[in-house]
């Protein structure tokens, strides 16, 4: 991992990134600045064009490590720029966009053209736009928009080209992070858990499961971290601290997609009412996806020799694997995992052996069929005739 520090849209960002991480991936996956679009990822289409030190750059070909100390401006950081507002209005008036996928990169290039070449003619405008591909408009509206801005007198630009050598980065004003989650999200170090459960927001999930165990026996297993971890498919603990801190790994696969989240969590047990809470953060190094989650649980007497385990989960998946974070998908995964975990806990309590897989793999077609069936059933339950 390489430590970098840069200014992104006016805010100082410090992070640990792998040397091979491209700037576009860092902006989208780590900082969640998804206005930077990825198209060809070969520097051909121009969709990922942003401003680095005031100059247009292909962020899909630029390494994040190479931007240490740089000033980065994405489309989100130009919302209040008077020149960019003028260009955006001209694009709308001249129908310079349709699907919009190329638009962020096209706007960044247009910003550079207007600022750098005030006396350019239409033929030169087209030549300057040759590095930004648009499959929709035929470029006529885009050229007309840039011409309108040039002829009507461009507004003052807030971003001007600078040289890296002249930038004394240490003197730039540091903006204090208001949300400590940014640090764990960007850096992904399991040793630096600087969040509280109240700061974790996202999708809420509630589950209940009935186990043929007494409250006391179930609590005995649940409150023993190594024991309960051994009942969860794909879970392994590296260390358990006296302060309730745990470092571990959870591996799970959906079809050909396999993720292994390693991270740190804090566990609090309340024996008085047989309840507890686990919260933490983890990172999948391969996809650079991150997860923040909080799990609250409570054990209640259900009936003779049976207990009810209630679970409340809040999770936030960020990065490429966020597409698998939809509630319906996660619910089906959770139901399948709970069945395995329940059988394993009951077997553990009775002293019998129940072998669980090293990591839980879900076959795509049966899994998606189950999800579809679940969605249809929920729709009928919610519809009132």
User: Is the predicted pLDDT of residue 198 greater than 70, yes or no?
Assistant: yes
pLDDT at 183: 34
Helix 140-152 and helix 103-116, axial crossing angle in degrees, nearest 10 = 40
Q: Is residue 107 pLDDT above 90, yes or no? A: yes
Q: Rounded to an integer, what distance in angstroms lies between the CA atom of residue 60 and that of residue 42?
A: 7
pLDDT of 98 strictly over 60: yes
Other Cβ atoms within 10 Å of 379 Cβ, number = 9
Answer whether 0.75 is exceeded by the pTM. no
What average pLDDT does range 106-119 have in this prediction? 94
The predicted pLDDT at position 251 comes to: 84
Neighbours of 286 (CB within 10 A): 11
Adjacent-strand bridge partners of 194? none
Most confidently modeled of 19-33, 174-188, 288-302?
Answer: 19-33
> Token pair for residue 197?
């459960």
- Kindly report the average pLDDT of the chain as a whole number: 81
Q: What is the DSSP string of 185-233?
A: HHH--TT-----GGG--SEEEEEEEEESS-HHHHHHHHT-HHHHHTTST
Residue in the structure block whose two tokens are 């955006």: 88
pLDDT digits (tens, 9 = 90+) for 277-312: 988 888 887 777 888 888 899 999 888 889 999 988
What average pLDDT does range 135-143 have in this prediction?
93
Of these ranges, 64-78, 186-200, 235-249, 303-317, the one predicted with the greatest mean pLDDT is: 64-78
* Span 17-40, average pLDDT: 92
Q: How far is Cα 335 from Cα 132, in angstroms, rounded to an integer? A: 46
- Residues 11-20 have a mean pLDDT of 91
Residue 323 pLDDT: 63
* Interacting residues of 90 by C-beta distance below 8 A, sequence separation 6+: 96, 145, 146, 148, 149
Distance CA 345, CA 357 (A): 14
The predicted structure's pLDDT at residue 239: 86
Residues 62/72, Cβ–Cβ less than 8 Å: no
pLDDT tens readout for residues 231-275 = 888 888 888 888 888 888 888 776 556 778 888 888 989 999 999
Which pLDDT score is estimated for 254?
A: 61
Percentage, residues of the chain above pLDDT 90: 38
Which class for 310: exposed (0-12), middle (13-18), buried (19 or more C-beta within 10 A)?
A: middle
Angle at 97 between CA 94 and CA 103, to 5 degrees: 125
* Over residues 128-153, mean pLDDT: 93
| Helix boundaries (H) for the chain | 23-25, 82-93, 103-116, 122-128, 140-152, 181-187, 215-222, 225-229, 327-350, 364-382
The mean pLDDT of 161-186, rounded to a whole number, is: 45
Q: Domains in the chain, please, with CATH?
A: 2-169 (3.10.20.30), 182-382 (3.30.530.20)
Q: How far apart are the first and last CA of the chain?
A: 58
């Amino acid at each position: 991992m390489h430590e970098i520090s840069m200014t992104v849209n006016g805010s100082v960002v410090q992070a640990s990134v792998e040397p091979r991480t491209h700037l576009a991936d860092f902006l989208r996956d780590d900082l969640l600045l998804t206005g930077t679009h990825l198209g060809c990822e070969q520097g051909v289409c121009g969709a990922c064009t942003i401003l680095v030190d005031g100059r247009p750059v292909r962020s899909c070909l630029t390494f994040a490590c190479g931007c240490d100390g740089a000033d980065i401006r994405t489309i989100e950081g130009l919302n209040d720029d008077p020149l960019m507002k003028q260009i955006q209005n001209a694009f709308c008036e001249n129908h310079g966009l349709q699907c919009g996928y190329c638009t962020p990169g096209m706007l960044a290039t247009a910003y550079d053209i207007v600022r750098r070449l005030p006396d350019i003619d239409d033929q030169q405008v087209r030549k300057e736009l040759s590095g930004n591909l648009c499959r929709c408009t035929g470029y006529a509206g885009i050229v007309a928009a840039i011409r309108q801005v040039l002829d009507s007198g461009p507004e003052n630009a807030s971003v001007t080209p600078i040289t890296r050598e002249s930038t004394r980065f240490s003197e730039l004003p540091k903006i204090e992070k208001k949300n400590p989650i940014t640090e764990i999200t960007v850096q992904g170090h399991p040793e630096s858990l600087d969040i509280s459960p109240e700061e974790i927001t996202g999708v809420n999930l509630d589950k209940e499961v009935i186990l043929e165990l007494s409250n006391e026996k179930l609590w005995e297993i649940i409150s023993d971290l190594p024991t309960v971890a051994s009942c969860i498919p794909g879970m392994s603990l590296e260390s358990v601290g006296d302060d309730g801190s745990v470092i571990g790994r959870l591996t799970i696969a959906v079809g050909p997609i396999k993720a292994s989240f390693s991270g740190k969590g804090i566990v609090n047990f309340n024996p008085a009412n047989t309840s507890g809470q686990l919260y933490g953060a983890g990172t999948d190094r391969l996809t650079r996806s991150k997860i923040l989650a909080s799990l609250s649980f409570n054990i209640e007497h259900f009936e003779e020799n049976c207990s009810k385990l209630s679970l409340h989960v809040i999770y936030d998946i960020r990065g490429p694997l966020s597409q698998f974070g939809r509630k319906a998908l996660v619910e089906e995964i959770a139901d399948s995992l709970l069945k395995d975990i329940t059988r394993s806990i009951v077997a553990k309590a009775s002293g019998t052996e129940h072998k669980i897989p090293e990591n839980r793999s879900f076959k795509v077609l049966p899994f998606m069929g189950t999800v579809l069936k679940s969605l249809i059933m929920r729709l009928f339950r919610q519809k009132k005739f």
